[in-house]
Chains A and B, each alone.
Chain A
Amino acid sequence: MGVKQLGIVGQSVKRRDGIGHVTGQTQYVDDVFYTGMLWLKMVRSPISRGIIHGIDTSKAEAFPGVVTVVTAKDVPNNWYTILCLIGVEPNDEPVLAHEEVMYFGEPICAIVAETEAIAAEAAGLVKLDIEELPPVLDMEFAISPDAPAIKKWGNNTFMYDGYNHRKLRFGDFEKAIQQADHVIEGDYSLSPIEHAPIETHCCVVKPEPDGRLTVHSNTQALYFTMDNTAIILQVPSQRLHMIGGTVGGGFGGKVDVITEPITCIAAMKTGRPVKWRWTREEEMRKSSTRAGVKMHYTDGVMKDGRIIARKVRSLEDSGAYHRHSPYGVQKHMANLPGPYTIPNVWVDAYCVYTNRQPSSAMRGFGVTEATFAVECQMERIARTIGMDSWEIRLINAYRNGQMRPVRKVVEDATLIETIQAAAELIGYELPAHLKAMSSDDYAGNGGHHG
C-alpha cells in the first residue's frame, strides 16, 4: 500500500502508563487527599418534572459536621455554559435548580461537611417543596402539538437557524422515489446507554494562599473545563489551575463540566479543600447518557441494486437539557446517508427535549446510531431484492472523487478495500468482478454524479 517505513512510528512499543494502571499505582483524582479536606454531597430532584416552591436547608445546616450548604444563589452565573464556547445558544440548564426541576436527579443544593457520611446524612434533611407536573418522556409526543412545552422558547426541540430540525437536501428525493423499482423502509432505534467508566466523576479543589484554586479533575478536556468553570464562577480563568490528564475511562461522559464548578464554589465559600466523588448510582442515573434515537429510512432501489433515493427522519432524545446533543445531531445528520453514493437524499434530524437525565457526548455519538441504521438497512435491501450482502455494499460504496450529500467530495475512501479484506479474512471468496473493484475507480458504480 506504499506506506513509507519510519523509525519508532509504526512500532508496538510498550505503553508507558500500562504498569501503573495494572498494578494500581497510577494516581487518579480520587487518590488526592488534603489535610482539612471537606466532602460534598448533592441534593437532587426526587421527581422528573415540577415547580420548586421551597428549599429548606435549615436542618441540614444545623446538623453537626455540616460546614455549609451551596444553593443556586451561591452560583455567580447559574448556567451550564458548555456549548456557548462553540457558539450554541441559548443557555438552558441551571448549575443548581431553583425555579423548576426537569429530570429525576437534577442538582438542587450541595451539602459540604467534615466527612462524606455526614454530608450524605445531612442531604436527607433538606426539605423540598416541589409541585409535581406530568413528565414528557416520549419523543413523538414531545414534538406533537398536544405536548406541554417544557422549554422556555415554547416547544420541545432545539431550534437550528429557525428550523426545529437540521435538514440535508441533495438531488430530488421526491422525483427519484417515483422512479425506483423498489421502495424499502425500515425503523431503527436505540435506548439510552451508560458510559460505564471504571472511574466515576471526581473533583478535588484546594484554595491556595495566593487566592488561586487548584482543581484536580478527570475531565477529558482541561481547558474547556477551566474556561467554562471560570464563566460560571465569574472569575478570570487565570485564577484556576487545572490538573488532570489521566482518566479512568471517559467515553464522552467526562466532557460535561459537571463536578468542577460546584466543587470550586464549595472551596471558595469554605476556604478549605473539598472533594466531590460520585457513587456508581449517580454515575448511572444522574450523569449524561448516550441519547435514545429513533430513525425511519425510506429508500428507493433499482433492480440492479443501486440506491437512487434515501429519506431519513431521525429523533434524538436530548433529555432535559442541551449538553452536547445539538452538536451531536448535526454530526448525526451528516452521517445518516451512510458511506454510499446516493444521488437523491432527504434528511430531517431533530434534537428533542424530554424530562429525563440529559444525554450528551458518548463514543461516536451521532455516527454510531447512523451507522447502525444504515448497515441494517443495507442488509434489508439486499434481502428484499435478493442480492448478495457483499455486492449491495460494494456497488453502492462511495468512490474517491464522487460527491457526498453534504457536498464534500470523497477524498480518502477505502470502504471497498475493507469489505474485500474482511471477506478475505474469513475465507469468503468474492466473485472476480467484486474483487476487482476499487475506491479509486470513479466510474465503478456508474459514477452517477460527482
Chain B
Amino acid sequence: MAKHYGRGIAAVNYPTGMNLGGDPTQALIFCQPTGGFSVKLASTDLGQGLKTVIAQIAAEALGVPFDSVIVDTGDTDSAPHCMGTFASRATHRVGNAVIMAANEARKALLDVAAEEMEAAPEDLVLENGEIYVKGAPERKTNVFNVALAAHFKYGKTISGRGIYLKQKSSLDPETGACDPDSTEAHATTVAEVEVDDETGEIKVLRLASAYEVGRQINPEMVKGQIVSGAVMGMSHALMETVFPYYPALDHHTYSFGEYIIPTALDIPEIESVVLEYPSSNGPYGVKGVGEMTANSPIPAIVNAIYDAVGVWVTDLPVTPEKVLRALEEKSLETH
C-alpha cells in the first residue's frame, strides 16, 4: 500500500467563435460634450471581465485615456445587436466591432480638431486624449476642447458604428468539410498527481500550463481564466457528475451536498506561461481564451493517473471507486 506519483501531459487546440460562423456583434460609440466616450453594447459580462477589456480596446483604438471610456452593456433599447457571450467569441467579436466604431468616431473627432487647429486631419496625432500636429508638438489641443467645440460651435457629431461578422459557411454533409473557427488558440498542460492505491484517492499536486492566446488585452485577467479554468477542469476530471450511475438516474444530485466541486483546500499549485502569436483577424491579434482553460487539465490528469498506477480510467469523473476497481482488475490479470 503506497502513494504513487505520476505526471501526464495534454496538448490542445481551441476554436474562437461559433462553429461555421454567422454570429455578428455590433457596437456604437458616442462622444459626450466634455470628451468622455460611451461604448454601447448589448453584450454580457459573465464575470470574465468583458467590460474592462472592451474599455481597454476602445481607449487604445480611440487614442483616449482608459478612464474616459464608459462601457454600457446589457440593454436592448439602447444598444445594437450582439449574438451573445459564448463560444470564446466575446473579446474577438465585440473587440473587432468596437475598433471599427472607434475608428469612425476618431476620424470625426480629428476632422473637428483639424478645423479648430487649421491643420489637415491626416497631420494630426491623437494620443491619450492629447492632439497635436505631427512635427509641431507645440500646436496642440485635447479631446475635451474638441468635443466642446464639436457640440457647441460646429454642430458636429463625434460617433461611430461598428460590426463584426464572420459570414456563415456551409458544411458538406457527405465529407464534413467546413470552416469551424476564426482562429485557433493552443495550450499544453502538465499535471502531477499522487494516487493512493489503498483508497483510490487522487491528489492533484500541480498543474503547469503554457497557453498561446494571440495577444493578451489584460494579462492578469488571462491568468485569472487560466487559474479558474484549471480548477474547473480538475473538478470535471475527478469530481463532477449529475448522474453518478449514468446512464441510470439513481442518486440524481440536487445540491452542493452531493454534487461535489472543489473548495480552496483542493486547489493544487497552478503555474502558467503565456505565449503571444497574434491572430490575423482578432482585435490587436486576440484569440479566445475563455473556454479552453478548462480543457487541457482533464486529459493531463487522466494521463498522470496512468503514469502513477498503470491503469486507464477513461470514464469521467475518475472517482476513487473507479481507480480501485481498475487496480483490482489489473492485479487479477497479473496474478
Contacts and interface: CB of A to CB of B under 8 A. Distances in A.
A125 interface: no
A339 B11 contact: yes
16 contacts: A17-B51, A167-B173, A189-B314, A196-B240, A196-B261, A220-B46, A222-B44, A241-B77, A242-B75, A247-B85, A250-B86, A327-B19, A368-B294, A371-B10, A397-B11, A418-B211
B34 interface: no
B56 A13 contact: yes
Interface of A: 1, 3, 6-17, 21, 48, 86, 104, 135, 137-139, 160-163, 166-170, 186-194, 196, 219-224, 226, 240-252, 255, 280-281, 284-285, 289, 292, 317, 327, 330-331, 333-335, 338-339, 347, 354, 356-357, 361, 363-364, 366-368, 371-376, 378-380, 383, 389-390, 393, 397, 405-408, 411-415, 417-422, 424-426
A241 B11 contact: no
A371 B208 contact: no
A168 B249 contact: no
Contacts of B271: 425
Interface string B1-26: 00000001111111100011010000
Nearest to B294: A363
A376 B306 CA distance: 10
A244 B273 CA distance: 34
Contacts of A7: 59-60, 127-128
Interface stretch (B134-142, B152-160, B279-287, B326-334): B279-287
A305 to B, nearest CB: 14
Nearest to B59: A8
Given A1-B276, A248-B47, A280 B84 contact: no
A242 B221 CA distance: 28
The 7 closest A-B pairs by CB, nearest first: A245-B74, A221-B84, A168-B176, A375-B299, A12-B220, A421-B210, A161-B173
Contact of B76 (A240, A246, A255): A240
A367 B15 contact: yes
Contacts of B20: 330
Greatest chain A CB density within 10 A among B88, B190, B259, B290 is at: B190
Contacts of A347: 176
A371 B296 contact: yes
B165 interface: no
Given A255-B84, A334-B176, 9 more contacts: A187-B314, A220-B84, A247-B47, A292-B246, A338-B13, A368-B294, A372-B299, A417-B277, A422-B9
B232 A363 contact: yes
Interface string B196-224: 00000000000011111001111111000
B254 A284 contact: yes
Nearest to B224: A15
Interface string B293-310: 011101110110010000
B117 to A, nearest CB: 23
Given A334-B19, A367-B291, A376 B83 contact: no
B265 interface: no
Contact of B45 (A167, A245, A366, A374): A245
Contacts of B299: 371-376, 379
B279 A10 contact: no
A411 B183 contact: yes
Interface in B136-186: 171, 173-181, 183-184, 186
A436 B176 CA distance: 34
B56 A189 contact: no
B30 interface: no
Contacts of B81: 223
A46 to B, nearest CB: 13
A223 B76 contact: yes
A226 B75 CA distance: 11
A330 B253 contact: no
Greatest chain B CB density within 10 A among A17, A226, A330, A406 is at: A406
Contact of A193 (B74, B178, B240): B240
B44 A221 contact: yes
A241 to B, nearest CB: 5
B292 interface: yes
A371 B12 contact: yes
Contacts of B119: none
Nearest to B283: A9
B132 to A, nearest CB: 16
Contacts of B219: 10-12
Contacts of B45: 17, 245-247
B246 A285 contact: no
A255 B210 CA distance: 30
Nearest to A10: B216
A412 B51 contact: no
B306 A379 contact: yes
Given A192-B246, A376-B303, A250 B46 contact: yes
B138 to A, nearest CB: 23
B51 A16 contact: yes
A247 B44 contact: yes
B241 interface: yes
A295 B261 CA distance: 25
A15 B49 contact: yes
Given A1-B277, A241-B76, A188 B314 contact: yes
A283 to B, nearest CB: 9
A408 B47 contact: no
A9 B57 contact: yes
A316 to B, nearest CB: 13
B180 A363 contact: no
Nearest to B127: A7
Contacts of B173: 160-163, 166-167
Greatest chain B CB density within 10 A among A9, A242, A334 is at: A9
B249 A372 contact: no
B316 interface: yes
A285 B8 CA distance: 34
A173 B22 CA distance: 32
Greatest chain A CB density within 10 A among B171, B188, B271, B315 is at: B188
B109 interface: no
B52 interface: yes
A17 B271 CA distance: 25
B75 A3 contact: no
Contact of A13 (B46, B52, B209): B52
Nearest to A85: B83
B280 A412 contact: yes
B71 to A, nearest CB: 8
B209 A191 contact: no
Interface string B54-72: 0111011000001000010
B12 A339 contact: yes
